[in-house]
Structure 1
Amino acid sequence: MDAYLLLITLLAIVIVIVGVSVFKWHAFISLVVASLFLAIFSGMSFDKIVTAYETGVGGTLGHLIGIIALGTILGKMLAESGAGLRIANFFIKVFGEKRLPWAMFLSGFIIGIPVFFEVGILILLPLIISIAKASKKNLLLIGLPAIAGLSIVHGLVPPHPGAVAAIGIYGADMGKVLLYSLIIAIPAGILGGPLFAKFISKRVKPEGKPKTIIIEDKDDSQMPSTGMSFFIILLPVILMVFGTMAGYLTKLIGAGKGTEHVFAFIGSPLIALLISVFAAYYFLGHRLGITKKQMKEFTEDCIMPVGSIALIIGAGGGFKQILIDSGVGATIGNLAQNFDLSPLVLAFVIAGLIRIATGSATVALTTAAGIVAPIIEHMTGVNKELLVIVTGAGSLMFSHVNDAGFWMVKEYLGLTIKETFKTWTALETILSFSAFILALIVNAFI
């Protein structure tokens, strides 16, 4: 039964790839067909298939749809006002063209600490496109380092939800996890970011172009100041930091729970982006002489492509839920549990296999931690903090068609499926294995 389930899963993934690349179906259609195929042939009862699919779509889009829409509008305002180009020119001047990938990795790493991966992509997208245009460099050379910075932080570093959940399950120390994760995440991110980007950008030249944001050339006098441009692009990050530190800030100023709730509300991704959009409308729109009608047209122009992207991401969420409810994740976890491996290797392998099967880094991380935690309960000498990190590392590997992040990177950067596998999937796998190896090295010295 286990072998049959794994075969059906593999065939479902093949359906997605063949549907998009051979039959030229829209990715949404391919994902729906693959989800139904897997659900039916894995033996799910017909009365549960649609409910499971809708749960997956809702769970993925529930917190993402507003963020995607507002992030795209913010990106459009940064592009149309020239703020993106202003920051791009500043980066080129300060860092020089040769060091731009390193600057983008640093930007992604820092911005990724307080915000979710999906939000970080939307914040950085106009900057990536602007710098690529201004420097006339391959988009991948500029974009992949930023994405690597976001991804490695999301997978390993608290306070991201997967890492926090694993800390609770293993009973690890939050402070030590934070310290070790930063020591490991930086070199792993460099390998998967600037170094890999330099290698792959010489071999892959994207066939398409980003669809949601198009950067037009502007005269210097028409663009906002550098300071204002940075303020708008960093405003959502600043607000989200307030949200993350709500408890600490209220204690610092001696305020009560009500103030803490207000900080947390303002710092939630949806509200932070909404505030930032209105700030962009005023400072990058009204103050620069852009009319209300033009701003409405900008908004409508960038919202239309979001419909297609939302459908694809939602369908990916539905596919993921079918994979989980059909028992694929549990099957792989049970099979891996029989391996005679050290706890660090076991956690990495289980998380990796579940990630490949279900497409969710958070599901892989928490499920693997739940499987490994009872095994190590009576063992001595196991570093629980590094166990959190290797589980997070495993949850990053081999992102493919069942992962919403795969489709976000593909659609927002205008890549083909083949290009996305060569770039994003390879990047994630490099981050995963390099973080795992570095964790083993750290474990040998402590």
Structure 2
Amino acid sequence: MAFESLTEKLQNVFKKLRSKGRLTEEDVKIALKEVKMALLEADVNFKVVKQFTKSVQERAVGQDVMNGLNPGQMVIKIVNDELVSLMGSETTELPIKPGNDMTVIMMAGLQGAGKTTTAAKLAGKLKAKGKRPLLVACDVYRPAAITQLQVNGEKQGVEVFSMGDKQKPVDIAKAAIGHAKEHQQNVVIIDTAGRLHIDENMMQELADIKENVQVDATVLVVDAMTGQDAVNVAKTFTDKVGIDGVILTKMDGDTRGGAALSIKAVTGKPILYVGMGEKLTDLEQFYPDRMASRILGMGDVMSLIEKVEASVDQEQAQEMSKKLKKMDFDFNDYLTSLDQMNKMGGIGSILNMLPGMGAKMKDIEGMIDESAMNRTKSIILSMTIQERSNPGILNVSRKNRIAKGAGVDISEVNRLVKQFEQSKKMMKQMPGMMGGKKGGKRGGFKLPF
């Protein structure tokens, strides 16, 4: 995940600060020197790092901090505040017009940044908010770009407007606006062509579309894994075409995070969303304060709550809670919980948002066997409805059939059944947690999914 290395280094610096009862000016300078190195290694723009450490030092050596009861924590708060300020202070929304007024969004970016997929992700997000989006295929150069948009548009339940690859992008864009007006579609998302590098033809094509179509927002899609190159690309597009915001893709990958910390300061343009995975639902609103919290290893509980609310069926969760209290859960419930966890991005994504987990994710990810979870799902799906509802009937012949159906050894089926039985026994021994009268307060247990 992004920022792991930076988070680990910053937490080591802060650990030293907390261990001191009083801070001297020299303590702060030494700590900030380490912070500076950590930021540079995370590929943050060197001018941004210089200004950042200067701002922190000016605030950190003030009398209120140095003579405070806990100066170490005060310095951490200052670093947090400055990180938030660096990334834009406030969350920036796309300028979507109210009601049925049409909003036209033009997506731009280099080839390989994930622009076409991101266009479909954005369309799905806006559709979920009650808008009626139309995707427009204006990338007439890259093989299969139109097909890719059509496939993703179909998955999102969003229409894709295409005139093939023989028409000029500007003509396709103009025709799409007419189509959207005719069909009462109020958000038009134009997917333009990318290049392997910035060239005059690309810039002219974008300028032509903006001259012939009333574009309300130009959104640049950049690959976070390219580090400072992403920042340089954003600056060039800002200067030559004009952009209104940035979407950073591949933030779930092995990226050092420098682009997220540098783009706003270098270009003056806000980060609107971040792509956190390959699924069409893996597009998150960018919150500077929450991202700063993640970087400092303090987690992102608010985003986790929102993810749970968006992914989990509340009626199913309540029903599951009742079953757990009665010890009446079965493999159908287990399957439901796996599906809900998958909707939230998997266990790794959930753990990454918990306080204190950021710097430990490298170790934890090695312990999370996603393929084992997929095999578990296959085993359960290979059971009959009766077997899932009543695991007690699983004899040797049934287990052999299930193992063959799931393509696993029977030992894995035995292990899953044993784990399931042990979980039930353990929960029976903790009635207080399950909301029972024994063992203390009721209602102490909360579903983890």
Please, what TM-score do these two structures have when normalized by structure 1? 0.22
TM-score by length of 2: 0.22
> Larger strand proportion, structure 1 or 2?
2
Higher RCO (C-alpha under 8 Å, 6+ residues apart): 1
Whichever of the two has the greater Rg, that structure is: 2
